[in-house]
């Protein structure tokens, strides 16, 4: 972790780009180019579930999921899945972003959590979950939870005028790679950098009270108190995104947004007021 002067990084914005295929890379890069030219320090964090599924199909690897007792779904990462994840994120999604940024004259550096201990995680020893419909204790999951971010590395890149492009995997205690959820990685990076804002770009225009109706988007979504479940209409990948949003807000990130990855100006939320959903933690002042 870096020891940086308080306030030094107040202006940093962390943007999580959806991995599920909704992202319009060209539009994002146009916005990133414009914002960084104006002096905005930006960090991109990406996932890559669509590319992982494509590659897993090409390689004949079956991808599976774990459903925790609270209903949050995460990826079941066995050895073959970890290979697919690393190849898809570091070999396809990240190069795609770097090339698109270069076309827009944005200097960028691609990193996984393995670079200089960027993302350090504690390995999950065993996970209680429902796998393929059966309650199971899973012991071979190669996943972990981020416990440390090398913020100094990112500050150095930002000071050099470079946009860091970050993704899983992370490094476990034994210096082996482990999967970690990209939304939660984005939250951990935003907390470590004391970012002023975390933006999740995703396949929905924000948090919807009816996932099949884009017009049901909430301008502000109030997270339920700890221990209370998310509403039933929050499903799929949105559940863990809201877990990540809570972690960012609890970690002191003052502003968290969920907005449309395919929008004409995906980073318009940075000019204030949406569109998208501002995520609010009751008891923590909203922007
Ligand atoms: N209440 C909801 N509001 C918005 N999206 C929802 C909701 N419930 C489920 N979803 C789904 O969650 C998705 C976002 O999660 P995910 O597919 O993991 O995207 P990403 O790749 O951005 O992480 C949305 O595109 C939508 O299909
Ligand atoms: Mg997701």
Asked if 189 contacts 166 with a C-beta cutoff of 8 angstroms, the reply is: yes
Q: What is the arithmetic mean of pLDDT over 58-65?
A: 94
Total residues belonging to the chain: 287
Pocket test for ligand 1, best of 16, 17, 20 (most atoms within 8 A of CB): 20
Q: What is the arithmetic mean of pLDDT over 22-28?
A: 92
- β pairing state of 134-138 and 127-131: antiparallel
Lowest mean pLDDT among 53-67, 85-99, 247-261, 271-285: 271-285
* Beta-bridge partner residues of 201: 17, 259
Q: What is the arithmetic mean of pLDDT over 20-24?
A: 82
d(CA 234, CA 71): 10
d(CA 266, CA 42): 14
Nearest to 259, CA basis, from 268, 251, 250: 268
Banded model confidence at residue 65, pLDDT cuts 50, 70, 90:
confident
Q: What is the average pLDDT value for the chain, to the nearest integer?
A: 92
Say how many Å lie between the CA of residue 204 and the centre of ligand 1. 6
Fold that domain 12-280 belongs to in CATH: Carbamate kinase (3.40.1160)
> What pLDDT digit, counting tens, does each position of 83-104 carry?
999 999 999 999 999 999 999 9
Banded model confidence at residue 286, pLDDT cuts 50, 70, 90:
low
**Ligand 1 atom, smallest distance to 203 CA:** 25
**Ligand 1 atom, smallest distance to 49 CA:** 21
Q: Is the pLDDT of residue 8 over 60?
A: no
d(CA 65, CA 130): 9
What are 17's two structure tokens? Answer: 């780009």
Q: Could you give the residue ranges of the DSSP H alpha helices within the chain?
A: 25-37, 49-59, 79-88, 94-103, 151-159, 182-192, 236-250
Q: Whose CA is nearest to atom 15 of ligand 1?
A: 237
Cα dist from 112 to 16, 41, 196, whole Å: 14, 19, 23
Say how many Å lie between the CA of residue 58 and the centre of ligand 1. 25
Q: What is the arithmetic mean of pLDDT over 74-78?
A: 89
For residue 261, the ligand closest to its alpha carbon is 1
């Amino acid at each position: 972790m870096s020891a940086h002067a308080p306030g030094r990084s107040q202006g940093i914005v962390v943007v999580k780009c959806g991995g599920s295929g909704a992202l319009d890379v060209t539009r994002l890069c146009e916005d990133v180019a414009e914002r960084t030219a104006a002096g905005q320090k930006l960090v991109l964090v990406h996932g890559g579930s669509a590319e992982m599924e494509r590659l897993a199909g090409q390689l004949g690897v079956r991808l599976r999921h774990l459903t925790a007792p609270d209903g949050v779904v995460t990826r079941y990462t066995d050895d073959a899945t970890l290979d697919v994840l690393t190849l898809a994120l570091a070999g396809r999604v990240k190069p795609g972003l770097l090339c698109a940024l270069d076309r827009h004259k944005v200097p960028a550096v691609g990193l996984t959590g393995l670079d200089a201990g960027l993302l350090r995680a504690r390995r999950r020893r065993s996970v209680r979950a429902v796998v393929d419909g059966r309650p199971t204790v899973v012991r071979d999951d190669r996943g972990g939870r981020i416990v440390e971010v090398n913020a100094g590395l990112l500050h150095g890149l930002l000071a050099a005028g470079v946009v860091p492009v970050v993704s899983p995997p992370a490094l476990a205690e034994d210096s082996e790679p482990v999967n970690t959820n990209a939304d939660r990685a984005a939250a951990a990076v935003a907390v470590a950098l004391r970012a002023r804002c975390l933006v999740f770009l995703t396949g929905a225009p924000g948090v919807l009270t009816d996932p099949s109706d884009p017009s049901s988007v909430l301008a502000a979504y109030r997270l339920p108190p700890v221990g209370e479940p998310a509403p039933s209409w929050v499903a799929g990948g949105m559940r863990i995104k809201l877990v990540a949003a809570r972690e960012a807000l609890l970690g002191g990130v003052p502003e968290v947004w969920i907005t449309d990855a395919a929008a004409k100006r995906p980073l318009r939320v940075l000019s204030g007021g949406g569109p998208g959903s501002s995520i609010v933690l009751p008891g923590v002042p909203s922007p």
